[in-house]
Structure 1
């Protein structure tokens, strides 16, 4: 199992608008690609940056190939849509983690 984690610090003034859009629009589009089997949203409880709220959106894939396909075929358009809608109101970074037991 591979975790594709997107950490987003969003300006607190638009948090509720952003979160609703993520749940109703963006995340469903990511899941509709068929490349992820599950998703979770976490809100960070410790705040490092005043005026911003940080979330971790986690997408789970069965293989690194699915994440590579997502990045090659879908990520740019979906990330551009997010950037256009919330320009100058967020900072994001992405990480990939492999489950080891």
Structure 2
């Protein structure tokens, strides 16, 4: 099992609107790619960052699907986020493997 984690930090001024958009638009678009088996969103309560921090997690079974997502779907999804929120929402991603 693999996990694609995107951490988002949203300015307080847009955090509520952005969280609604995340759930109604962003996550469904990622899941519609068919590359992930499930997802989960967590609000990070001990973040040292200003603003509101979330971890959006997407689970997948094989690396080929993930690479396909990154090449075929991620650029458009990321562009939509930047176009809508600019620098008011920043993000970084990491990929993990369950080995234990």
TM tier, smaller: over 0.9
What does residue 67 of structure 1 align with?
66
| 2:59 partner SS | strand
After TM superposition, the structure 1 = structure 2 runs for residues 1-101 of structure 1, keeping only pairs within 5 Å, are 1-50=1-50, 52-101=51-100
- Give unmatched runs, 5+ long, in structure 1: none
- Give unmatched runs, 5+ long, in structure 2: none
Moved over 6 A (4+): none
Aligned mates of 1:61, 1:6 — CA distance in 2: 14
- The count of corresponding residues between Structure 1 and Structure 2 is 100
Deviation by residue 1:62-86 (Cα, 9 ceiling, x = unmatched): 1111110100100000100000100
1:49 shift after superposition: 2.0
- Normalised to the residue count of structure 1, the TM-score between the two structures is 0.95
- Normalised to the residue count of structure 2, the TM-score between the two structures is 0.96
